[in-house]
Structure 1
């Protein structure tokens, strides 16, 4: 992937999850983000999320705000495909996502029955397609789908054209992966990528890995992950966003701005490296 100077960048809701959707759109516009992700489903029991029902005042206000600020909604998160999963339970969320113009739904796989997981992923892709959306499967070290190659295998087994595997820089590293894992993957299976940074050393326990992922990420370029190498391996048309939840007392806008500026600095560094390479 060649990073242009005006490359659009999205802001994952998890970076500043305390900010409601309307305010998130305005915050993103002030900083320079082109798009936002929205947390319309709890990532785990008790986790915060927001609702924007179709036909509601909240939906009308959200659409007006997006149009006025010039910021789109790229993706909706976050769904766990576990043994009790039923795609039809997500119909209302997908209706809202479609009304907002969202393009992707992010999920993880946590069902030990691989055949059932593949079937449920396929059903969700079929349901999402009816709203003009695709589905991205994300690997996590503490889930059943615990590596990027495993995520790709599920996506390929499901065989749906709108299915993909989300590339998250932290999860790729913490599940033993590297940018080279992307080489053999068809480009149409990688539609979305999330950037952040972290120390090179993987935390020593599952609990510590979860804590790092949920509250101790670093802005891109402030750690040791091979982000320029990762960017070089991504398809040219992938949608980039930053997902950097941090344990910080700084105001949400200050955190989001810091992450944006750090990412722009990283992009420039990667461009320089690319120009200097033989």
Structure 2
């Protein structure tokens, strides 16, 4: 499974085209894309890009919401502690999930009352 993110302070796969290139280079049918709706939108992709993919390339979808513009300076902290319930931000989660096959593993991810951002 490959997940891409726009975190600037780590070594990552920065966007959907790069992630798809890695998948092609690996060339294994069990090596698929992890779609994270926050990272999809923040990296400049969206539901239309997912619609063009072969559904078999997507192995997992993580649904969470966020504003288009980061709410705090640290992208990593925001991704870990400030995610929103799907439908309450700008990520168009329901449209993104529409393009994933029914048998796909998925998870909802948002800030939990039990886990707070460090002060």
Shorter-chain TM-score bucket reads: 0.7 to 0.9
The residue aligned with 1:236 is: 102
Equivalent position to 1:225, from 74, 82, 91:
91
In the alignment, structure 2 segments of 5+ residues that lack a partner are none
The residue aligned with 2:77 is: 211
1:177 positional shift: 1.1
The residue aligned with 1:141 is: 6
Q: Deviations over 1:162-197 (max 9, x none)?
A: 000100011111111101111232222112100111
1:194·1:241 contact (CA, 8 Å) conserved in 2? yes
1:204 positional shift: 8.1
Q: Distance in 1 between matches of 2:39 and 2:78?
A: 10
Which structure has the larger Rg? 1
Structure 2 matches for 1:81-100, cutoff 5 A? none
Matched, 1:195 2:63: yes
In the alignment, structure 1 segments of 5+ residues that lack a partner are 1-135, 253-278
Q: CA RMSD in A?
A: 2.0
Q: Which has the higher helix share?
A: 1
Matched, 1:156 2:24: yes
TM-score normalized with structure 2 length: 0.81
TM-score normalized with structure 1 length: 0.37
1:148·1:165 contact (CA, 8 Å) conserved in 2? no
For the residue of structure 1 that corresponds to 2:98, the secondary structure is: helix
Aligned residues: 112
Q: Deviations over 1:51-107 (max 9, x none)?
A: xxxxxxxxxxxxxxxxxxxxxxxxxxxxxxxxxxxxxxxxxxxxxxxxxxxxxxxxx
Moved over 6 A (4+): none
Change (3 A) 1:154 1:230: same
1:202 positional shift: 2.1
Q: Deviations over 1:206-236 (max 9, x none)?
A: x532221111111112222211211212223
